[in-house]
Structure 1
Amino acid sequence: MSSSLLLVLCVVLSALSGARGAPVLSAGEVNYTKCKALSVKLNEMARDLYHKVESKKMAIIIDEPPVSIRPIDTCDPWSLQSNNETCQSRIILALKNYTRIFHKDGVFNNLACSNWREQANEIANVTGHLLRVLREPVEAAPLDSVDWQASALCRDSVERLYSFSIISARVFSFLASPVAPTVEMKQC
């Protein structure tokens, strides 16, 4: 079985296992069930775009390091059970970054990436919606890139989004689960 098919199966199974019902939310709480649905949708869109965007054989210099989820961000199940703020704040930072990259004025506005502009804008809409569910402002500041870097940035951005979307879907699936896992989890 291919790894992407296995991933889809895992995401679907976790979505179905969490569909038992969610507790009623108070006014200030984040709706993690909605975050889960949006993050799974984001993952599907990122996977689709990942298979479409061409890979250029060139090296580029990126001034700003990309936003990614790191081990110190405590997005593992043990940490999420006790305190999800660190992980959630890092996910929010990454979502803001991806909203900016995939927005209509982002990297895909460039001619080299124009074939995928419509899908990129749809991804920006989903990341923006996810930010609003997380009660965060959506900023649509233009992203500048040099023309010769644009085609490589398209592929790089899609690869990073795809990886991020897998992690965020797992985190929100865990947070949306009405009961904590009862199976003993062992660290690798």
Structure 2
Amino acid sequence: MAPFRRLCLCLLLALLPPPPAAPAPVTAPVTAPAPLRRPDWAACRVLSRELSRLLGAAREPHPVLEGLQLLEEEPQNWPPRIRCSDACDPLSLESNHTLCLQRIRQALQHYRDLLGSDIFREQPQPQLESTMEQLLRLVQDGPGRPPRHLPAPAELWQRPLQRHLALKRLRSFSALMGRVFNHGAR
């Protein structure tokens, strides 16, 4: 009787409908990546040219500083710079400008903070600050961060040297940034 019972159970199981499928796992809907926000390259080019012009017109109050060459400090203390790995070359800018603009944004924030610090208290640069702030708004994704004022130098006599070094580095950065925006505006 047992084999007959097994045969009946097998036939009954074969006639039953298949069990319902397990529910599909819940996943986030697949969306296309957000398109890269294209900066206003032409406006950035105009502002970077204005920044370079203002930097060229900025003069040292102490003429002896004009020809002074200062030794560079340790690399970990350097301000943000455009490096080869930042993809600011013309071919990389065509396909993805995000990394390059992030580096430019970091540097602009750094120099904006320097211009608002005690280093420039005796020789404020309101036009430079204004132009840099406008440029920063153009390359920013979102609200950005408020200025962070750097600590005052230890000695009063260091301020002219630090100001000289900051302007020298900003001129160098401005030249590279201008090339990026000039290419992007084409």
TM-score by length of 1: 0.66
1:142 aligns to 2:149 (yes or no): yes
The answer to whether 1:47 aligns with 2:56 is yes
Task: Say whether 1:107 aligns with 2:119.
Answer: yes
The Cα shift of 1:34 comes to: 0.7
1:124 matched to 2:129? The reply is yes
2:129 counterpart letter in structure 1: A
75-84 or 141-150: which moved more? 141-150
Letter of the structure 2 residue corresponding to residue 143 of structure 1: L
Q: Decide which of 165, 175, 181 is 1:166's aligned counterpart.
A: 175
> How many angstroms does 1:72 deviate by?
1.3
Structure with the higher helix share, 1 or 2: 1
Q: Unaligned regions of 5+ residues in structure 2, if any?
A: 1-36
CA positional deviation for 1:74 = 1.6
The percentage of aligned residue pairs carrying the same residue is: 26
| One-letter amino acid matched to 1:168 | M
- Of the three residues 34, 37, 40, the one matched with 2:46 is 37
Structure 1 spans left out of the alignment, 5+ residues? 1-27, 178-188
CA-based RMSD of the aligned residues comes to 2.5
86-95 or 59-68, which moves further after superposition?
A: 59-68
User: Number of residues paired by the alignment?
Assistant: 142
Structure-1 separation of matches of 2:80 and 2:114: 11
Question: Matched residue of 2:78: which SS?
Answer: coil
Match of residue 80 from structure 1: 93
